[in-house]
Amino acid sequence: MTEQQTQGDAAPNMAAVGVEAAAQAGEHAPAPDHSMLEDTIAQVQGGLDLKAQEIRDDRRLTPNEQRAAITDLWNRVSAVYPDIIKTYERVLAEKVESAEQGLFYIIPSNRASVRAAYSDAYDRTALGFESGDAEGIQHAREELERLWSRAIRTGDREAQHAIGQLALERGIGKLRDSYLATSEEKTKAWNRLVEARKKQEHFNDPHENFWLKMTRPVTLRKPEEA
């Protein structure tokens, strides 16, 4: 649990939140753009093309020497490409993490109360959710909805945050949406997470990544001489 998150003693199921966000992201078209990566590749490609042309224009070199120099240039520049991709993947992961932290952020003065409420809701429903039995899961959902209704009825904001976070982790769409509807800030954070997950999942999908490389300028063009 990070300093910006305040759940109970149970570790937050961020993977489940990510899957849910990615699933919702998949409902919306078109596919995300990767302009940051495209801009980086364009800069590297521009430098490569400029240097290659300088070698071509150097009349002190024979054609074979020019070809060798351009090949060496290509080898050095193309060796950087995997690092560019890794950097971009790290940026995508950091944006997902930042969005998750924003979604689960609780002001410091309320963290102890939210943590206690989360622990209570978790303990009341964990057995049912983790039973693998449809009836047990349904009972746990109903109990969580009951706790949510009570929190709304009594105006208990800490309990609302706790139950809302648990709904996010458990992938309970109806209760999640009810929680998000109580806060414009949390709604924006959820939308940022959906968008960040959408972009990350799109880039990491082998089929989509292949198609991206075929249709967008995200690879380096090799000089003819190389």
pLDDT in tens, 11-31: 345 545 654 565 555 555 577
pTM (2 d.p.): 0.79
For residue 221 the two structure tokens come to 């063009």
pLDDT in tens, 83-106: 999 999 999 999 999 999 999 999
Calpha distance 39→211 (Å, rounded): 18
Torsion on CA atoms 189, 110, 168, 181, rounded to nearest 10: -60
**Residue 27 lies inside a defined structural domain of this protein:** no
Instruction: Report the domain count for the chain.
Output: 1
Query: Do 56 and 66 meet the contact criterion of CB atoms below 8 Å apart?
Result: yes
Average of pLDDT values for 153-171? 96
DSSP structural state of residue 221: P
Q: What is the per-residue pLDDT for 24?
A: 58
Query: Do 88 and 44 meet the contact criterion of CB atoms below 8 Å apart?
Result: no
User: pLDDT class for 226, splitting at 50, 70, 90?
Assistant: confident
For residue 144, what are the domain limits? 14-20+34-215
Mean pLDDT score across all residues of the chain: 89
**Residue 113 lies inside a defined structural domain of this protein:** yes
pLDDT in tens, 186-221: 999 999 999 999 999 999 999 999 999 999 999 999
DSSP β-bridge partners for residue 105: 5
Residue 145's alpha-carbon distances to 106, 138, 159, 163, in angstroms, are 21, 11, 12, 9
Judge whether residue 59 has pLDDT over 80: yes
pLDDT above 70 covers a percentage of the chain that reads: 87
**Residue 224 lies inside a defined structural domain of this protein:** no
**Residue 7 lies inside a defined structural domain of this protein:** no
**Residue 146 lies inside a defined structural domain of this protein:** yes
**Residue 165 lies inside a defined structural domain of this protein:** yes
**Residue 163 lies inside a defined structural domain of this protein:** yes
Query: Do 28 and 198 meet the contact criterion of CB atoms below 8 Å apart?
Result: yes
Closest CA to 16 of 193, 210, 135, 156: 193
Judge whether residue 179 has pLDDT over 80: yes
